[in-house]
Amino acid sequence: MVGDLSQRSAREVLDDHLNIANNWAGTPSLEELLAEDLRRNVSEDIVILMSRGTFRGHGGVRELALMLAAELPEHKAFDYTYVAVEGRVGLLEWTYQDSQVQVRDGVDSYLIEDGKIVGQTIRYTVEPR
């Protein structure tokens, strides 16, 4: 994607974020993918709410990404079962499965402004297989 990233629609931002996230099973390192996603799609002032607490900024995103990577050890692709965007609000329902664990109830919501994700909520349950 070339040009002014701040002019993208909320759907374009969310699609880019989800495409990058699903490449974590590929050849680039998690850190490289995360750095690209942060640069392109995530506000430096992001606030993420989940049952584990409130996470802020790129440091909070990194912390959550490392926790998720540890919980989903085989780094398989996510299955995005539902994606919707209306105005500046997005909703994602997702699942995950590898030989050790599964997630059947992943739900994230997004607030997107000026081409960046500025707010997010996350909810999922990791279950053994």
pLDDT at 1: 47
> 3-state DSSP call for residue 88?
coil
Query: Which residue, among 78, 124, 79, has the nearest Cα to 105 in the 3D structure?
Result: 124
pLDDT at 73: 85
Q: Tokens standing for 68?
A: 């998720």
> 3-state DSSP call for residue 116?
strand
Identity at 52, one-letter amino acid code: R
> 3-state DSSP call for residue 114?
coil
- CATH code of 5-128, in short, is 3.10.450.50
Q: What is the pTM of this model?
A: 0.93
CA distances from 96 to 26, 28, 63, 93, 128 (A): 16, 20, 20, 11, 12
Cβ distance 46 to 117 under 8 Å? yes
What residues of the chain score a pLDDT lower than 50? 1
10 Å CB burial of residue 34 (0-12, 13-18, 19+) is: buried
Q: Tokens standing for 19?
A: 């495409």
